[in-house]
């Protein structure tokens, strides 16, 4: 009976991992397909680094990504079991504590994760850990959507540990965690697209400057001692770990975007407009 029980749990874990894999593949894969293949010519002017990532890099990112979602599944499965047995702080129905708290709980999860991510990220950059764990993620010098989950197994475990922390410390409705997880995936993939979508002046705006941009994280992959935050630019500003040239680099990316778009419209072929390697280096320095 114990063997049957273990096999049943194994299949449940694989089922959770498979579902996560499909969700990640559907989202990251769609973003990758649209911007790197289907609409590449149309939107290439948005590319921060004007060069296509190597095929080996993409394969490596996809391989590590699927390892990551399997680890996510193995951690989420016992959380799912605990939730079904009312061991966590899950509550029902949706309006038990009111709709205001429901929305507040989602925002609280996001803020908690933003803090958790910043400080665990700083820990992963400790020299004694970086070379063995976080270096795997930093092999992606020109990030793609698949870079988001291209993590060493230890980092993947650390990353998903925010879920057990949340469900045992915050009263939550199950759908709130689902929304939080979707937001996490969306923002993580957005930050790794390698494309800049935000408008000029965004990092200097008195309100919007507190939110990160793809350029912010793209610079982190090139300059590993700066730009550690994930959603908001709060901890990097408070701890003075923003790259000193972040705001200027962002505006250079915007200038590049405008000039490439204008040139592409004139030439009617965006892929014919490419920066030299030296110009790319200058762009983010």
**Cα–Cα distance, 182 to 25 (Å, whole number):** 13
Beta bridge partners of 232: 211
**Cα–Cα distance, 19 to 17 (Å, whole number):** 5
- pLDDT per residue rounded down to tens, the chain (285 residues): 566 655 565 555 555 556 666 778 889 999 999 999 988 888 999 999 999 999 999 999 999 998 998 898 889 888 988 988 899 999 999 999 999 999 999 999 999 999 999 999 999 999 999 999 999 999 999 999 999 999 999 999 999 999 999 999 999 999 999 899 989 999 999 999 999 999 999 999 999 999 999 999 999 999 999 999 999 999 999 999 999 999 999 999 999 999 988 876 776 655 554 555 445 555 555
Rounded to two decimals, what is the model's pTM? 0.87
**Cα–Cα distance, 36 to 171 (Å, whole number):** 41
Beta bridge partners of 172: 90
Domain segments of the chain: what residues? 2-284
Token pair for residue 228? 């550690």
CB atoms within 10 A of CB 54: 11
């Amino acid at each position: 009976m114990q063997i049957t029980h273990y096999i049943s749990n194994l299949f449940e874990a694989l089922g959770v991992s498979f579902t996560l894999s499909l969700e990640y593949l559907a989202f990251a894969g769609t973003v990758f397909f649209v911007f790197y293949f289907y609409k590449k010519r149309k939107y290439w002017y948005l590319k921060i680094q004007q060069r296509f990532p190597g095929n080996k890099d993409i394969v490596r990112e996809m391989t590590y990504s699927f390892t990551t979602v399997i680890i996510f599944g193995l951690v989420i499965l016992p959380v799912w079991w605990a939730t079904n047995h009312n061991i966590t702080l899950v509550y029902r129905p949706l309006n038990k504590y009111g709709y205001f708290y429901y929305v507040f709980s989602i925002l609280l999860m996001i803020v908690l994760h933003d803090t958790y991510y910043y400080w665990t990220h700083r820990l992963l950059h400790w020299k004694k850990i970086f070379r063995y764990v976080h270096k795997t993620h930093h092999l992606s010098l020109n990030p793609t959507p698949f870079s988001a989950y291209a993590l060493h197994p230890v980092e993947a475990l650390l990353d998903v540990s925010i879920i057990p922390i949340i469900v045992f410390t915050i009263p939550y409705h199950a759908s709130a965690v689902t929304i939080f997880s979707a937001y996490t995936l969306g923002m993580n993939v957005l930050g790794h697209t390698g494309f800049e979508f935000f408008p000029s002046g965004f990092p200097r705006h008195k309100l919007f400057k507190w939110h990160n941009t793809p350029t912010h994280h793209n610079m982190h992959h090139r300059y590993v001692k700066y730009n550690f935050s994930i959603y908001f630019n709060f901890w990097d500003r408070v701890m003075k770990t923003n790259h000193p040239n972040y705001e200027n680099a962002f505006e250079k990316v915007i200038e590049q975007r405008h000039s490439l778009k204008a040139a592409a419209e004139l030439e009617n072929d965006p892929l014919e407009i490419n920066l030299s390697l030296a110009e790319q280096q200058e762009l983010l320095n």
